[in-house]
Amino acid sequence: MHPQLTEKKIVCREFIQALEACHADGWSRWTGACNQAKHDLNMCLRKERVDRTTKNREEAKAKREKIEMAWKELHDD
């Protein structure tokens, strides 16, 4: 399973619970009945990851611009 699948994780909780409920019935797990629940969870986690990496990229870009401005000011003096 995914390392993100904990009850502490607020996002995607309904998808996690749906997959766990589906897996509780052992037969459904082996016949592919849980495939849609797993796909939905994967898409939710993927969206979370993409959002997180986009945010991190924007923050890193802003930080880098700030550092470059500081270096430029230092060299201009």
Domain assignment of residue 50, yes or no: yes
Residue 54, domain extent? 7-76
Q: Is pLDDT at 22 greater than 90 in this prediction?
A: yes
Q: Give the count of domains, the chain.
A: 1
Residue 5 has pLDDT above 80, yes or no: no
* Secondary structure class of 8 (helix, strand, coil): coil
What are the two backbone dihedrals, phi and then psi, of residue 21, each rounded to the nearest 5 degrees? -65, -40
Q: Is residue 64 part of a domain?
A: yes
- What sign results for the dihedral spanned by CA atoms 38, 21, 47, 55? negative
The verdict on residue 37 lying in a domain is yes
Q: What is the CA radius of gyration of the chain?
A: 21
Cα(59)–Cα(48) distance, rounded to whole angstroms?
16
User: For the segment 24-65, what is each residue's pLDDT rounded down to a tens digit?
Assistant: 988 888 899 999 999 999 999 999 999 999 999 999 999 999
Rounded mean pLDDT of 56-75? 94
